[in-house]
A = this chain, B = another copy of it.
Amino acid sequence: MDGQAAADRRVMAKLAHYLPALAWARGYDRATLASDMTAAAIVTIMLIPQSLAYAMLAGLPPEIGLYASVAPLLAYAAFGTSRTLAVGPVAVISLMTLTAASAIAAPGSQRFIAAALILALLSGLILLAMGLLRLGFLASLLSHPVVSGFITASGILIAASQMKSLLGVDGGGATLPELIAGLASDLASIHPPTLAIGVSACAFLFWVRSGAKPLLIRLGIAPRVADLLAKTGPIAAVAASTLAVLALELEDNGVRVVGQIPQSLPPLTLPLFDAQLWRQLAVPALLLSVIGFVESVSVSQTLAAKRRQKIDPDQELIGLGAANVAAAFTGGYPVTGGFARSVVNFDAGAQTPAAGVYTAAGILIAALFLTPLLAALPIATLAATIIVAVLSLVDLRKPVEIWRYSKPDFAAMLATILLTLAIGVEAGIIAGVGLSLALYLWRASRPHAAIVGRVPETEHFRNVARHRVFTDPRVLTIRIDESLTYLNARWLEQFILEQIAEKREVRHLILMCSAVNAIDASALESLEMINRRLADAGVRLHLSEVKGPVMDALERSHLLDGLSGKVWLSQHEAFTKVIALADREQESLAAPDLWAARGAI
């Protein structure tokens, strides 16, 4: 019976790991409920215009933005590890969806919507697979400069793509040069009423970001409440511009509006199974997943740290994967954790993921009952919402900082920005990742190494190039400052053989391994080769200060059997004893010149 109970406990522990909701649901009380409900109300108000706007940005009907803000939130609440992350449509992922699905069909078409569903499903499956296989580390391949450059370039692209709605022109294009050319060729047909709405919405929203909070405080509202109220600015812009359209009959005047949005629950959808389409969308889905994951984890880590909570990146992959799968089956499109809404959720006092559940309920109510109110909402207002939101993503000081700190990092960032703007999001990410990796591997293939000698009167050994140290022309000590791997194994061979070719008096080489944490099979083979080649040249190879685990591994190899020299515990011992050995060898060779003769064959 005890065995059974223990087994049950193990099953429960395993379940709790994969279903973090079990942990917080147990202690849920009335106070937490109140906090979560308040946060949910504010996030819902913020999310309604954002969901519509981002769906539009992705080239999808507005209601799809609402659908993507229901089921995914429930799925993340069950499987995610962050207590305050708010999941849903976000700007960069919407842009990536637009780019990927545009390669399949025209934006807004049925096939385009189907492609967006497939992207959500693929992205969900990729994230789940990465989570189950614990491959979260692959996200490390996106360096900070690459992500930062990508986000900045995406922000610029998104803002440029919305200008046409703000100006009321046709415009068009996918890359920055195309977008600019599209706008420029259409400048004559600017629609003044649309422009008026767009510009005033922009101005209002920019003002709300900085001016609203001080004003509300001066009006006697508590700072924290004022801050949250200011975050709901977009809904005020939505209401005001909708009323203006209705009052001034601007729709008849040619101002484009959102139009009828079906009042409906999120529909149940089955993503199309089309092998060719899946293959075409696989790479975009992978990039979108990884970018979404990196962004989301950095938000959830920031928020968790503020309350000394933990998140588990591998379980986050599962939470986000589940959210995307949920989006795929409920008429949505790819989602991830959003920065602005998560911060609002956190600041409004959300305590548990239940806040996400209540937000989903709020959006559901909006989808069922409030959509008729949005029919006269001008597109220009949504464009303004997007532009103001994404311009906060554009950070032009960062490239300057990175230029000052590290040129290789700057190169990777610049490549990412330029290729994203000029060719597209996928080219930008791939170039950034490729260049970062190439630069990293280049550096890894040239580790730091120093020829060292003994600091007089001590047992310390230091770089001969920087210190006055004692050396012996017959004994060369090389200290390698990195683990030996296949990336630097060939460099090691080359470096050592060059040293030996240059210093023809050398009879003993000591490799000082104090900084070598590991030796892989390639480096082992290189050491064996070095040992043989040195022997051919009449030089013995010694090792010193080999760490315990490295020595254990070497004992499973043939290196030590064939080593022409010895393995010494300390460099000091090695140096002293090997010099004595060299002395004895010189004495026993009646004619020391023999060596020179042999070297010159």
Which residues of A are at the interface with B, using a C-beta cutoff of 8 A? 137-141, 143-145, 297, 301-302, 304-310, 313, 401-402, 404-406, 408-410, 436, 440-443, 445-446, 448, 481-482, 485-491, 493-494, 497-498, 500-501, 504, 515, 517-518, 520-522, 524-526, 529, 533-534, 536-537, 553, 556-558, 599, 601
B405, A537: Cβ atoms under 8 Å?
no
B409, A143: Cβ atoms under 8 Å?
no
In this complex, the member of A308, A534, A553 whose beta carbon has the largest number of chain B beta carbons within 10 angstroms is: A308
Since A144-B525, A310-B501 are in contact, a sample of 11 more A-B pairs with Cβ atoms closer than 8 Å, ordered by chain A residue number, is: A137-B491, A140-B445, A143-B486, A144-B526, A308-B500, A309-B501, A313-B494, A410-B521, A440-B485, A448-B517, A515-B515
Chain B residues with CB under 8 A of A482? 517
B405, A497: Cβ atoms under 8 Å?
no
The one of B481, B488, B500, B501 that contacts A140, using a Cβ cutoff of 8 Å: B488
Chain B residues with CB under 8 A of A306? 533, 536-537
B481, A517: Cβ atoms under 8 Å?
yes
Chain B residues with CB under 8 A of A140? 441, 445, 486-491
CB of A138 to closest CB in B, whole Å:
8
In this complex, the member of A307, A490, A504 whose beta carbon has the largest number of chain B beta carbons within 10 angstroms is: A490
CB of A6 to closest CB in B, whole Å:
25
Chain B residues with CB under 8 A of A139? 490
CB of A484 to closest CB in B, whole Å:
12
Complex CA gap A408/B521 in Å reads 9
In this complex, the member of A401, A485, A486, A518 whose beta carbon has the largest number of chain B beta carbons within 10 angstroms is: A486
CB of A432 to closest CB in B, whole Å:
11
Chain B residues with CB under 8 A of A504? 308
B301, A497: Cβ atoms under 8 Å?
yes
Closest 3 CB pairs between A and B?
A143-B486, A305-B533, A409-B521
Name A139's closest neighbour in chain B (CB-CB).
B490
Complex CA gap A401/B487 in Å reads 20
B537, A308: Cβ atoms under 8 Å?
yes
Chain B residues with CB under 8 A of A493? 301
CB of A249 to closest CB in B, whole Å:
51
Complex CA gap A137/B443 in Å reads 10
A446, B144: Cβ atoms under 8 Å?
no
The one of B305, B440, B481, B489 that contacts A486, using a Cβ cutoff of 8 Å: B440
Complex CA gap A310/B406 in Å reads 34
Complex CA gap A246/B308 in Å reads 90
The one of B406, B494, B501 that contacts A308, using a Cβ cutoff of 8 Å: B501
Chain B residues with CB under 8 A of A401? 557-558
In this complex, the member of A140, A408, A443, A448 whose beta carbon has the largest number of chain B beta carbons within 10 angstroms is: A140
Complex CA gap A144/B405 in Å reads 36
Complex CA gap A440/B443 in Å reads 14
18 contacts between A and B (CB under 8 A): A137-B446, A143-B521, A144-B521, A304-B497, A306-B533, A307-B601, A308-B500, A308-B504, A308-B599, A310-B497, A404-B556, A405-B556, A405-B557, A406-B521, A409-B522, A436-B486, A440-B486, A443-B518
Contacts A306-B537, A310-B497, A537-B308 known; A144 to B486 CB distance under 8 Å? Answer: yes
CB of A291 to closest CB in B, whole Å:
14
Name A136's closest neighbour in chain B (CB-CB).
B490
Name A307's closest neighbour in chain B (CB-CB).
B601
